[in-house]
Amino acid sequence: MTFNPNIPLSSEQSKLLSDLQKDLSSEQIFWVSGYFAGVSTQLGINGSAVIQNNTITAPSSEIADKKITILYGSRTGNGESVAKMAQSIALESGFEAKLQNMETYPTKELKNEKNLLVIISTHGDGEPSFQAKEFYDFIHSKRAPKLDQLNYSVLALGDRTYLKFCQVGIEVDKQLESLGGQRVFDRVDCDVDFRQSAQDWIKGALTALGGATSTSNAAQVSASQSSSSVLEVTGEYSKSNPFHATVLDKTFLHGRDSDRQTIHVELSTEGSGLTYEPGDSLGIYATNSLELVAKLMTLLRFSPDTKVQTENGKALLHDLLIHKYELTNITADVIQRYVELTQNEELKAILTSTPNVKKFIYGKDVLDFFTQYPTDLTPEQLIHLLRKISPRLYSIASSPLAHPDEVHLTVGVVKYTSNNRDKTGLCSVFLSDRIDTDENAPVFIEKNNNFRLPQDATTPIIMVGAGTGIAPYRAFVEHRAELENPGKSWLFFGNRFSESEFLYQLEWQRFLKEGVLTKMSVAFSRDLEQKVYVQDRMLENSKELFTWLEEGAHFYVCGDMKQMATAVHQTLLQIIQTEGNLSPEQAEEYVTNLQKAKRYQTDVY
């Protein structure tokens, strides 16, 4: 912030305000704005705002007609950040804006809503997050009320790399309409780069609800500034402005006999101002390999000095393909854009079936695709077809208490052969092969408030993970090692071979010896003739596991969603039913209550 003569502050006051802003998180900025709004109301200043509980009230002669509920349901913090941005802009538009998390929203209130903005994400194979499930199930149930009085709009958050992109948002939008709701602004489906789309939706939806009539130019500027700050992570650096972290060390965790690679990576965040808690993730922007880019340009007959027109002027196509666009995989949206350009009938048929799309894209990269379906493209057409590189998220494997100004990762290196070519994952091989120690990687912190240690450090914890799913538990145990009187902890870990794939074995043995880790149960599926998995170890210890739960233990699962996490969930239900002498329905209720109490948390992919 620089001094502006039109601002009614002295230069000293302006400097103080600017210095304060630099040290505040987005949440703190939001609180401070409400504090001063409350002060101005007490002083009788017109146009002020008051924050009461979760509702922002803007003085307005039309306020009785402009109540609005902003309802969000998301596992990560993205949905909440958009909801807070919507609340801020709604205030400037003259609404009384009430913020609600679907996880705690009383569904009986839905029938009384007049104006509703819904922000909801899709997870896995078109599923609602746990935070949104109760609301989702309610509106699809026989108990759902008629909503003839409701004006609504939906923002769907998703990822186009998944075939059922924004599926939950699509279904919620349709169901609200079928219950009688009036859609006042069309649903917007957001990809991982959601900032601008979210802002456009908020402003469009609020205008449709009548917000534009009381929004001055000054208010619009203020709302725009607020929306930008709400989406930022604490500190100067964020997803849109990553910090370039220095690689301090890389260690290969697998033994020589393993046909896989897992690496431990340590990065420096010194001077960044980035903060994190155990359970958070680190986002990394990787670059494509020079070899893959060269092969693609040769196939498409582009010379090394080929340039392309971008929104920022002309740039070398070679550089854009290295730094900006996904080449290591093919997604349904890429195929769709190619079909729109070429009208390829074979690909049209594939797009009509989800199983066919899954089968087609498996193991394919962009080079495979254009080899199989060659066509003459201009550089601009190529760029239009491709999707931009999205950051890869890795669960942080360190505690900030144990390693100040550092972030550690556990990375499974993806290398495979498909279509007679050796291929690699984008980010894992970027970290293992394409970046050395003392070089920099663009990173940011992705908060995960739904995968957290208990606030009371004496609370027992049960941690279940396989492969690189061990990462956050290293952070958990390291963190508790730095605290006084930590509670009991039990780790279930699975991998293929004990001799070559027992990740962090020496560290776990040390933690056990020191008493920071109370118990460890391991399952190595390929060591014995009959395969053994973490869920089998859970069953072997079912009585003790249930006792820990009855004592208040928190239960965590990290790893593969479709197989491991699903199997663990079913095993947990079985244990609770058997050891608690409960019916299947009672066991389901027991687990649901664990989830509601934040005692059963998952970080699955």
Tens digits of per-residue pLDDT, 345-386? Answer: 999 999 998 889 999 999 999 999 999 999 999 999 999 999
Mean per-residue pLDDT for 73-80? 85
List the helix and strand counts (H, then E) for the chain: 21, 23
Among 125-134, 198-207, 345-354, 549-558, top mean pLDDT goes to 549-558
Cα–Cα dist 226/86, whole Å: 10
Who wins on pLDDT, 492 or 192? 492
CB-CB contact of 75 with 131 (8 Å): yes
Closest CA to 63 of 89, 85, 91: 91
Confidence of residue 66 (pLDDT cuts 50, 70, 90): confident
Mean per-residue pLDDT for 511-533? 94
Cα–Cα dist 222/9, whole Å: 17
Cα–Cα dist 578/542, whole Å: 9
User: Is 50 exceeded by the pLDDT of residue 131?
Assistant: yes
- pLDDT at position 6, please? 39
Q: Please write the tens of the pLDDT for every residue from 209-231.
A: 986 433 334 334 333 444 444 44
Who wins on pLDDT, 446 or 41? 446
Mean per-residue pLDDT for 95-118? 94
Mean per-residue pLDDT for 88-110? 92
- pLDDT at position 125, please? 75
Confidence of residue 522 (pLDDT cuts 50, 70, 90): very high
User: Is 60 exceeded by the pLDDT of residue 120?
Assistant: yes
Mean per-residue pLDDT for 473-490? 96
CB-CB contact of 499 with 255 (8 Å): yes
Output phi, psi for 533, to 5 deg: -125, 175
Domains of the chain: 49-230 (3.40.50.360), 243-286+391-446 (2.40.30.10), 290-385 (1.20.990.10), 461-604 (3.40.50.80)
Q: Please write the tens of the pLDDT for every residue from 274-293.
A: 999 999 999 999 999 999 99
Bridge partners of 268, per DSSP, are 246, 406
Q: Please write the tens of the pLDDT for every residue from 2-25.
A: 434 334 455 555 556 655 655 554
DSSP 273-339: -----TT-EEEE-----HHHHHHHHHHTT--TT-EEEETTEEEEHHHHHHHTB--S---HHHHHHHH
CB-CB contact of 316 with 297 (8 Å): no
Supply 573's token pair: 């239900």
Mean predicted lDDT score pLDDT of the chain: 87
- pLDDT at position 219, please? 38
Confidence of residue 532 (pLDDT cuts 50, 70, 90): very high
Closest CA to 473 of 399, 537, 392: 399
Q: Which residues of 391-411 are buried (b: 16+ CB within 10 A; e: fewer)?
A: bbbbbbbbbbebbeebbbbbb
Amino acid identity of 477?
A: V
Question: Strand, helix or coil at 596?
Answer: helix
- pLDDT at position 60, please? 36
Mean per-residue pLDDT for 52-71? 57
User: Is 70 exceeded by the pLDDT of residue 150?
Assistant: yes
Ranges 137-141, 252-256, 390-394, 484-488: which has the least confidence: 252-256
Mean per-residue pLDDT for 194-214? 83
User: Is 60 exceeded by the pLDDT of residue 525?
Assistant: yes
- pLDDT at position 13, please? 57
CA 142 vs. chain centroid, Å, equals 32
- 285: number of Cβ within 10 Å: 20
- pLDDT at position 52, please? 36
Question: In terms of C-beta density within 10 A (0-12 exposed, 13-18 middle, 19 or more buried), how is residue 512 classed?
Answer: middle
CB-CB contact of 234 with 26 (8 Å): yes
CB-CB contact of 189 with 177 (8 Å): no
Closest CA to 603 of 480, 469, 493, 492: 469
What does R_g of the chain's alpha carbons equal in angstroms?
A: 26
Amino acid identity of 194?
A: F
User: Is 50 exceeded by the pLDDT of residue 233?
Assistant: no
Supply 386's token pair: 């491709």
Cα–Cα dist 576/175, whole Å: 34
- pLDDT at position 35, please? 41
Cα–Cα dist 71/120, whole Å: 8
SS3 per-residue string spanning 218-232: HHHHHHHHHHHHHCC
Confidence of residue 46 (pLDDT cuts 50, 70, 90): very low
Supply 384's token pair: 């239009």
Mean per-residue pLDDT for 295-312? 93
Give me the residue label for tokens 């009585």: 543
- pLDDT at position 51, please? 35
